């Protein structure tokens, strides 16, 4: 199995039992979209432990910052693990691949165009398919990083532009959550571990 297939399968498996980490303010599961692509890419790349950690932290920071900015109105209709998570997975993958800062920004923009994941599946008793949300986010985030590495451009204002995520996906959270760079991670240590294997929204 190649890295893409391994990351997709591991993301689905990691989420299906509902025991992955969570973040209340961002309303998503950062670990599943950050760890799985990095481990898949690291398997054949000879990455150091520091490189693995930096890539995972990048995924956490980007997905959590974007999830916080999108806010509660967004999370009422969209699974933020799938939307903000696609951008976080692009960040994790891009750092793991050693993209330049410019390429990484393009990867985030490409990943943002793949943001999807509707909560309607819960209303229609299709909850089992929820585990595919992070799997698709990881697949799309990795593809975004590959595309940026190959020279494809991504939207630079993917979050705040007139047709960006915040405006079109019902964002209502604090936009200043997007401030700051990856060189000073602030949110990676704020994720929580569930006491019980259940959807965070059940609490």
Could you tell me which residues are beta bridge partners of residue 76? none
CATH topology of domain 3-171: 2-methylcitrate dehydratase PrpD (1.10.4100)
pLDDT tens, 3-16?
A: 999 999 999 999 99
Question: Which residue has tokens 């929820």?
Answer: 130
* 200 vs 108, higher pLDDT: 108
Which 3 state secondary structure label does DSSP give 118?
A: strand
In degrees rounded to 5, what are phi and psi of residue 78? Answer: -120, 145
The CA-CA-CA angle for residues 18, 88, 83, to 5°, reads 70
Asked if the model's pLDDT at residue 197 lies above 90, the reply is no
pLDDT tens digits for 56-78?
999 999 999 999 999 999 999 99
Predicted confidence band of residue 203 (pLDDT cuts 50, 70, 90): low
How high is the mean pLDDT of the chain? 94
- pLDDT tens-digit series, residues 24-46: 999 999 999 999 999 999 998 88
Separation CA 61–CA 135 (nearest Å): 19
Longest dimension (CA), the chain: 44
The confidence score (pLDDT) of residue 201 equals 62
* Confidence at 87, pLDDT banded by 50, 70, 90: very high
């Amino acid at each position: 199995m190649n890295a893409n297939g391994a990351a997709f399968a591991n993301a689905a498996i990691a989420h299906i039992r509902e025991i992955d980490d969570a973040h209340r303010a961002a309303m998503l599961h950062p670990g599943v979209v950050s760890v799985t692509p990095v481990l898949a890419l690291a398997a054949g790349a000879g990455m150091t432990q520091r490189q693995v950690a930096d890539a995972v932290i990048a995924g956490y920071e980007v997905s959590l910052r974007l999830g916080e900015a999108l806010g509660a109105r967004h999370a009422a209709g969209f699974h933020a693990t799938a939307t903000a998570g696609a951008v976080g997975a692009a960040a994790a993958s891009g750092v793991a691949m050693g993209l330049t800062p410019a390429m990484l920004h393009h990867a985030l923009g490409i990943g943002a165009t793949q943001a999807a994941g509707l909560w309607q599946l819960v209303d229609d008793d299709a909850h089992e398919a929820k585990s595919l949300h992070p799997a698709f986010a990881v697949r799309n985030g990795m593809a975004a990083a590959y595309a940026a590495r190959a020279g494809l451009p991504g939207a630079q204002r993917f979050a705040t532009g007139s047709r960006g995520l915040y405006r079109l996906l019902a964002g209502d959270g604090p936009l200043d959550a997007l401030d700051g760079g990856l060189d000073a991670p602030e949110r990676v240590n704020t994720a929580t571990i569930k006491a019980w294997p259940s959807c965070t929204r059940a609490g």
